[in-house]
Amino acid sequence: MSLKIILADDHTVVRHGVSSLLRSLFEDLEIKTSQDFTELIPLLHEFDAQILLLDINISGGNSIAMIDKVRKANPKIYILMFSAYEESNYALRYIHAGANGFLSKEASEEEIAKAINTLLKTGKYISNIVKEKILENVLQNAPMDPLEVLSIREIEVADLLIKGLGVLEISNQLNIQTTTVSTYKNRIFEKLKITNIVSLVEIFNIYRN
């Protein structure tokens, strides 16, 4: 029986490179690719693959809601999230939502082969980094969703920062002092362990449906 894999990624270089790598790792392999999430759904119906390598930030998807949509199209497929994002920040959220594993785009050939073989044998793949994060969360009783640490007001400020508003504009809109806005902004960054708006946008994209 041949191994059937779907690779969903909106970067042409990634699709070609990973497809070539997978063919070198697995002899009897059939692989189909999708460049966006909209294109992926009918492919899931047409091609009975065992594994889906799904880019966490794919065009047309880019949210946790992708997992349910994939499951409706193919309930049996193993979903391996494939991302350049740091595993410790994003893996648990997707695994908790029903993905079978999380693989970094920086993974070595050996780890990619191990991830796929482990999925086929056990139905799950958890890297050492993710295992450590799970243990850390259990020991510290940390929230699965990092946004849970933000207050309602901090969420409001974060939403406006993401929309591109500056400190003065947020001050006027929320009717609070500019110094208060700056304090909220610093507190948000500190709680989420980030240093810029780009990272804030990425976190909200992942953890908000």
Q: What is the pLDDT of residues 20-32, one digit of tens each?
A: 999 999 999 999 9
Q: Are 147 and 208 in contact (CB under 8 A)?
A: yes
**Higher per-residue confidence, 127 vs 100:** 100
Q: Is the pLDDT of residue 199 over 90?
A: no
Give 206's contacts (C-beta < 8 A, 6+ positions apart): 56, 63, 64, 85, 89, 90, 93
pTM for the model stands at 0.68
Q: Is the pLDDT of residue 201 over 90?
A: no
Q: Residue 114 burial by CB count (10 A; 0-12/13-18/19+): exposed, middle or buried? A: middle
Quote the CA–CA distance of 199 and 195 in Å, as a whole number.
7
The CA-CA-CA angle for residues 22, 66, 109, to 5°, reads: 20
Quote the CA–CA distance of 37 and 44 in Å, as a whole number.
11
Q: Is the pLDDT of residue 140 over 90?
A: no
| Span(s) in the chain for CATH 1.10.10.10 | 146-207
Domain 146-207 has CATH 1.10.10.10: yes
Q: Is the pLDDT of residue 116 over 60?
A: yes
Which residue in the block uniquely carries the two structure tokens 């999430």?
Answer: 37
Q: Are 144 and 94 in contact (CB under 8 A)?
A: no
Q: What is the mean pLDDT of the chain?
A: 87
Give 114's contacts (C-beta < 8 A, 6+ positions apart): 125
Beta bridge partners of 52: 6, 79
Neighbour tally for 149: CB within 10 Å: 14
Quote the CA–CA distance of 48 and 182 in Å, as a whole number.
52
What is the structure's pLDDT at 113? 93
Mean pLDDT for the stretch of residues 95-119: 89
**CA torsion angle for 179, 184, 188, 190 (degrees, to 10)?**
60
Strands in 78-83's sheet, in edge-to-edge order, are 29-34, 3-8, 51-55, 78-83, 101-104
Q: Which of 84-93, 97-106, 107-116, 136-145 has the lowest mean pLDDT?
A: 136-145
What is the structure's pLDDT at 136? 67
CATH number of this structure's domain 3-138: 3.40.50.2300
| Span(s) in the chain for CATH 3.40.50.2300 | 3-138
